[in-house]
Amino acid sequence: MVHGYSGKILWVNLSNGEVKKQSLDMELAYNFLGGEGIASNILFKEVGPETDPLGPENILIFMTGAFVGTNIPCGIKTTVVSKSPLTGIYGESIFSAPLGLDLKYSGYDGLVVKGRAENPAYIWIHNDQVEVKSAKHLWGMDTFETVDAVREELHDKSISVVAIGPAGERLVKIASIISDDSRAAGRCGLGAVMGSKNLKAIACKGTGKIAVSNPERLDELRREALNIALPNTKTLREHGTAAGLIVFEQNGNLPIRNWTRGSFPEAENITGSTMTQKILVGPNPCKTCPIACGRRVRVPSGPYAMEGSGPEYETMAALGSLCYNSNLESIAKANDICNRLGIDTISTGQTIAFAMECYEKGILQDTGGVDLTWGNPDAIVKMCELIGMKQGLGAILGEGVRRASQLIGKGSEKYAIHVKGLEFPEHNPRKFKSMAVAYATSNVGANHNRGSPMLVERNLLSPELPWKEPVDGFLTKDKGRMAKVYQDLCCAVDSLGMCKFMVFWGKLPLKILTEYYGAVTGRALTFEEFMRIGERIWNIQRAFNNRMGITRKDDTLPERFLKESVNEGPAKGQIVELDVMLEEYYRERGLDEDGKPNEGKLRELGLGWVADIIHKK
């Protein structure tokens, strides 16, 4: 009997309707844990440099981890993987989707979608039964309407649904996939991949159970973890992840005015505690989560009236301080529009900030009548609509900031803040220099979730790791090693299906994760093996990217961080000294001068077959 896993991967080919239930290769599962680990393997084998991300030959993978469906608190993450239409390389986004629970309860560790349906379709999975159904009547609906309509049609309000909105249908390159009524797989434009397959939604209901090897031990560990994590996450519970916004303004981490300023005097207006006072309805937890960082908010009237899921930190900063906007209600409204139309709030905010800077500089004049003056809340809300509907200037910005700057030209590339085509998240690499290396080398482009070494600089330490004291964020020493370790750790944690807020904000000893794994699967896992698995996962993703043409020259940051500093605030005068940190990183990683994992490293990680492909003469 398999413990912790369902034992099958479901393949659906939308071109011919073929449904295949493939046994899960347990060696693969134990060597890659699940989630992005297994998905990276499948992607590497199925997708090549010639694959058009929006062509039927691309695949879209939804993969769970061993913790999903086991009653481990916060074991709720589903990873979506594909070749990204935004970046052209490895694309990944992780969300708290009950879809993952229902997939596992239906008997599948993951779902791989291939091909392209002739007409709009959705996939309905109910235990053994798998159907491709018409979605003609759903096409054009927003994500929330789609979820409601699918549930109504299937006569069950408890069905898990993930859906795309008009943005995904129209192949907007920053389109997201929305789970149920709020959580987003936002990054890398994977909603456009779904749209390119004519796939409007995936609905799932499972009634099975996941067998665990040692339920008594699992209960003990669960109690131990909650005793540690709940007191440490009180602020998240009270004010959501945006609780940290005011602190970040004060310590120099907050992105302001497209990364050109170091101070935002109105930050108090958009921090988490202000949201609590002014518009909070209540917490909006993911399933299985006692932390409940998610918010439900309501703006009762006025131009920004809305009720629904509230902005978390990344969204608040992206559509707020980054665009110099301190109007809380407008951010709540813009967030709601992004979720309904199905676009990534991080990429959207970064792209609007880019447009505002171009407008200020006179580079962008034809805005279709939208006044893109810094901080104009109406313009931000309007641009979210235009991007999501692929209309007017929104059709250009929805291509993502790299492509938009190429289309606009006139030197606007200088203001396009991205790595490898993925827009920046909201943590300042001038303040936390470990993040500079992490962004420059992340396998998806600029993403704080693919390795957050700033945890060491922020004093959120893990006792199993080498850093026993916080390290000064402005220093460059040891930051290459730090980025490497946290990227590996992140690959491993995410592959379990575990929320990182529980792990890092909760300050869980990392050995609880390996003990959980033992109790769930019956297989002992040492911390060293756990980290080695993370390293293996990172390297297969990197090798995939090497095949897509990524080399050392792509491991860089926008000039803004390398040459420009800000004139005020705690990070005043700081630039990123990337080269020295990158040298150390390359040494620690075992990357060769072309930016490929060296052959010996790949063989040592059990990836000889990958070495044979990327090092073939």
Q: Which residues bind ligand SF4 (CB under 6 A)?
A: 74, 76, 96, 285-286, 289, 291-294, 499, 501-502
CB 32 within 8 A of CB 45: no
Q: Smallest distance from the beta carbon of 80 to ligand SF4, in angstroms?
A: 16
Strand-strand pairing, 121-126 and 199-205: parallel
Output 73 or 88, the one with its CB closest to ligand SF4. Answer: 73
According to DSSP, residue 119 is labeled S
Query: Rounded to the nearest whole angstrom, what is the least distance from the CB of residue 182 to ligand SF4 in the complex?
Result: 10
d(CA 446, CA 402): 12
Q: How far is the CB of 501 from ligand SF4 (least distance, A)?
A: 4
59/346 with CB nearer ligand SF4? 346
Q: Which two tokens stand for residue 524?
A: 């002992």
CB of 346 to ligand SF4, least distance (A): 15
CA dist., res. 322 & res. 261, Å (int): 9
Query: Are 465 and 484 spatial neighbours (Cβ–Cβ below 8 Å)?
Result: no
DSSP 3-state of 269 = helix
Environment class of 307 (CB within 10 Å of its CB; exposed 0-12, middle 13-18, buried 19+): middle
By beta-carbon proximity to ligand SF4, the closer residue of 74 and 135 is 74
CA distance 159 to 434: 41
Both ends of the chain: CA-CA distance in Å?
A: 44
303: phi > 0 → left, psi -120 to 50 → alpha, else beta; which?
alpha
CA 163-314-58 angle, 5° bins = 40
* CB closer to ligand SF4, 108 vs 504: 504
Least distance between ligand SF4 and beta carbon 558 (Å)? 28
Pairing, β 280-283 against β 160-163:
unpaired
The number of helix segments (H) and strand segments (E) in the chain equals 26, 17
Distance CA 326, CA 224 (A): 41
Minimum distance of ligand SF4 from residue 319's CB (angstroms): 19
Enclosing H/E stretch for 160 = strand 160-163
* Positive or negative: CA dihedral 470, 475, 480, 486: positive
What's the min distance (Å) between Cβ of 361 and ligand SF4? Answer: 37
Closest to ligand SF4 by CB, 76 vs 492, is 76
Q: Taking the complex as a whole, how short is the minimal distance between the CB of residue 96 and ligand SF4, in angstroms?
A: 5
Is the CB of 270 or the CB of 499 nearer to ligand SF4? 499
Q: Which tokens belong to 612?
A: 């044979």
Residue 272 C-beta: closest distance to ligand SF4, Å: 13
CB 571 within 8 A of CB 431: yes
What are residue 322's DSSP bridge partners? none
**Burial per residue of 542-560, b for 16 or more beta-carbon CB atoms within 10 angstroms, e otherwise:** bbbbbbbebeeebbbbbeb
Q: From the CB of 291, what's the least distance to ligand SF4, in Å? A: 4
Using the minimum distance from each CB to ligand SF4, give the nearer residue, 203 or 493.
493
Please state the closest distance from residue 507 (CB atom) to ligand SF4, in A: 13
Q: b or e along 193-227 (b: 16 or more beta carbons within 10 Å of the residue's beta carbon)?
A: bbbbbbbbbbbbbbeeebbbbeeeebeebbeebbe
Distance CA 121, CA 100 (A): 20
Closest to ligand SF4 by CB, 317 or 393: 317
* 8 Å CB contact between 403 and 445: no
Q: Identify which of residues 244 and 388 has a Cβ nearer to ligand SF4 in the complex.
A: 244
Identify which of residues 293 and 343 has a Cβ nearer to ligand SF4 in the complex: 293
* Nearer of residues 481 and 500 to ligand SF4, judged by Cβ: 500
Q: How far is the CB of 77 from ligand SF4 (least distance, A)?
A: 8
Query: Looking at this protein, which amino acid is placed at residue 296?
Result: R
> Residue 245 carries which DSSP code?
H
Comparing CB distances to ligand SF4, the nearer of 190 and 499 is 499
Q: Choose between 115 and 294: whose C-beta lies nearer to ligand SF4.
A: 294
Would you state the structure tokens that stand for residue 238, as one six-digit string?
């009270």
For ligand SF4, the closer of residues 286 and 491 by Cβ is: 286
Distance in Å, CB of 315 to ligand SF4, minimum: 13
Structure tokens at 86: 């935004």
Token readout for 152 is 């109504």
Least distance to ligand SF4, CB of residue 35, Å: 14
Of 267, 125, 112, 263, which is closest to residue 194 (Cα–Cα)?
A: 112
